[in-house]
Structure 1
Amino acid sequence: MYTANGRLDTNTLLKQHSGLVRRLAHQMIAKLPANVAIDDLIQVGMIGLHDALGRFDAGQGVQFETFATQRIRGAMLDELRGSDWMSRGNRKQQRDIEAAVHRLEQKLGRAPHESEIAAEMGITLGQYQDILTKVRGTQLVYLEDMSGDEGGDEFLDRHVANEDANPLAMLQDHRMREALVEAIKHLPEREQYVMSMYYEHDMNLKEIAAVLGVTESRVCQLHSQSIARLRVKLREW
């Protein structure tokens, strides 16, 4: 497809193949933690598509969609490897919270309050809430939970790039689902609401904040704290 000047009509081709980008993004997002935004993957995928249009050579005997799929998926994987959602520092802080929650649950026999968790960690409530905001969107299952501490990139290549594999397969286990449902029932009421609106009703943080009458940052904190509590429960399972 060419313009009146005889040049490849890139804009038209981008629109024509944008559905491929969206399809690949949705395939990939289904196998990733909830904090990875579909719009971010689509944006990066469109860059990969544009790159594919510039590099494609029909003389190589490869169909454009096959060639573009590799470029688009590669761009998405590169973005995932370099993004903060895989930060080991954030995961360590999340695990510090989990350890404090676990110790307090054993001692108190109930879900600890934020101030109690902060005190257990030896920090102020404000510092604790800052950490919760920083680790916002931390996933329920980490990659190294299934691949080992050093297997991050290879794990992405093997499972996210493979349409037949699923990094969160353990969540599909019936007993695991039952344990998760039971763990959510034991969350503080407000955190139950956050998890329900976010995961069951597919509401974004801004919408949840409006319903609860709090700031979006506060919703981030509640979500991060809920994930820490759930991971403690599921580890016991």
Structure 2
Amino acid sequence: MSTRTARTNRTASSTGTTRPGSEAAAVRREALRGLPEIDRPSQVSTDDAQTLSASLLTRLRELEEGTPEHAYVRNTLIELNLSLVRFAARRFRNRPEQREDIVQVGTIGLIKAIDRFDPTRGIEFSAFALPTVVGEMKRFFRDTSWAVRVPRRLQELRVDMAKAADVLEQRLGHRPTRAEVAAHLDLPEDRVAEGELAAHGYTARSLDVTVAEDDAPRDSSRRLATAEPAYELIEDFESLKPLIARLGERDRRILSLRFGEDLTQAEIGERLGLSQMHISRLLNRILDELRAGLLEDGDAPDETTDS
């Protein structure tokens, strides 16, 4: 290093113009205010992530939105809970969309859940966030799925036309005509007509539906297939099987009595010779273990202890 370069570096250091590390450390200290600093949030275990998230969510509400401290805590919460997004994405692994795209969309739902969560309500964050994450994924499928194959340029045209129609409806006070949409998009009307025709490929109607002369279905209840909400539970049940198998005999017995025979905690206690309070603690511990196992991104340990 030359004498001139060394002198320049010493001068910059002495005037405080190059201290990004110190500034970042100061932001972290102010953001956390006594909370533990997390070096690799994405590698934290599920149990630790839940505990840390509870503290960070409370701290987030104390910080002013838009500040570096608020952004730091918010980003840490996102990284801590990415395993929740990956878990939600598993139930859609048989869809044609890329898993990375599904996770990315689910992360948007996670961010929305973080911004909306109220720690004072006394509910667990994962229970609040999961429906939001899954809902964002389903909305993505609904908005991007096509019943028949349509060229990409027409898919993009449909999106542009939908946006234009919303803008024009707000401006004009009525649903815009084809000519108005074409003028707004600076396109010929026949191109907009082509886009309207392509939009019919976005949804499919049952061949069994009786159609009137005005093309309105008289029996909209008849479909070639219907969505069965219970199907989504199948993967959850399959994921639970190995986790339940690793539980101790007493834990499996308690689960069977509570959810198989629908007994109360007091009735279970009478069967097993334990107090209702003891059964309550055992149930909470068992359910926490199962919940943590479901949220873990990867294989669970082969052995667990029976306490």
TM range (shorter): 0.3 to 0.5
Relative to the length of structure 2, the TM-score reads: 0.29
Q: Which has the larger radius of gyration?
A: 2
* Higher relative helix content: 1
Query: Larger relative contact order (C-alpha < 8 A, sep ≥ 6)?
Result: 1
